[in-house]
Amino acid sequence: MTHSSGVLDVDSIRAQFPILHQQIDGKPLVYLDNAATTQKPQAVIQALTDFYTQCNANVHRGAHHLSDEATRRYERARDCVAGFIHAGNRKEVVWTSGTTESINIVANGMAQRLQSGDEVLVTQMEHHANLVTWQQACLRSGATLKVAPILDNGALDTDAFTELLNEKTKFVALPHVSNALGTINPVKALSAQAKSVGALVLIDGAQGVAHGNVNVCDIGCDFYAFSGHKLFGPTGIGVLWGKEEVLQNWPVWQTGGEMIAKVTYECSTWGELPNRLEAGTPNIAGAIGLAAAIDWFTGLDCDAIQAHEKALMASALEQADAFDGLKVIGNAPNKIGVLSFILQGTHPADVGFILDRQGIAIRTGDHCAQPLMRRLDVPGTARASFSVYNTLAEVDALFVALKKAQSMLG
């Protein structure tokens, strides 16, 4: 990613996103649901079109030009991802359908290794994909699930996290960034603590990857999972990164074509990384589209992106603080991209409906984090989440619309 101290040209960026140039009920679209999925630049749309119109074929297996070209683009996408997250080896990049499948691959393998008396540690801010999955792995294996609590401001209680680590802890799973609160976890320090007791570590990077500067080797985790659609890429494509020495003997997730070495009627053996964890015809177009998204994103000014996102967040928090009757949920000192809130005397779903009629797209509900909502003693929140193409004017429009919602809902 380009580093400099320039100012982000948001108008130029917005011009590359066709979907943003439309109206909802006669109002300009203000898209503030980026934690759920990001919109796609023309470069990604074109990459998908080019694949399907120029070289649509299955990869690795064909003895013809289209297959060769599809394979070249597909494997070039793996190299692109490896470089983007600073993987030690391209073989450590495994294609999946998204963060959820990536976590399930790891949990399926751990369920075969865990036993009664072992412990798995997660946090109180987990998305269901990184909670229910480990819950099930513990049920299958007889291991015990432990939960590190959060503080009232939405930050992880790192002291409690440390106290929960012990020689029984075999696995630690935690989010890079909370999807519901925007809290950034100190994943490098937490990974080091987990490794000190011999535990394997998985980072749910679904919300962290779109903010740049992910370096899996520097973090020191064993696994890092993310989805393409939260990084300006297509849906249905994701990545499981794992250390080669950990992944190379990991229990296979699915069996079928491509992942085998030798098959007889009596037995089968598995291929080498990454193929052994990639059974069947992959999402070729999705991988190519994700590479196009990464190329686009890394072509932007990293420092300018971060400064712009901080400015959006600062404006949102300042206006929220001055808004009578609005309560921000999650005030961790280190947070990014997400403003979760409740309007006193209203239900989040009603707020979301009224905002939609004004062209403003936000998310409402429990954000696939029901235990977290119970911990915070709220039924759910309204969540505005920001990306590189959002503007300060759109933040202003959000609060104008909230004033109208407040007056309408009484």
List active site positions. 368
Continuous H helices in 85-205: 99-111, 132-141, 158-164, 187-196
Q: Are strands 360-361 and 30-31 parallel, antiparallel or unpaired?
A: parallel
Give 283-333 as a DSSP string: -HHHHHHHHHHHHHHHTSBHHHHHHHHHHHHHHHHHHHHTSTTEEES---S
Kindly state the tokens that stand for 60.
């690795």
210 CA to centre of own chain: 8
Residue 141, CA distances (Å) to 101, 107, 126, 138, 247 in order: 19, 11, 21, 5, 20
> Would you call the peptide bond into 41 cis, given omega within 30 degrees of 0 as the criterion?
no
Residue pointed to by tokens 């649901």: 33
Alpha-carbon distance of 184 to 176, in angstroms, equals 6
What is the rounded distance in angstroms from the CA atom of residue 52 to the CA atom of residue 70? 10
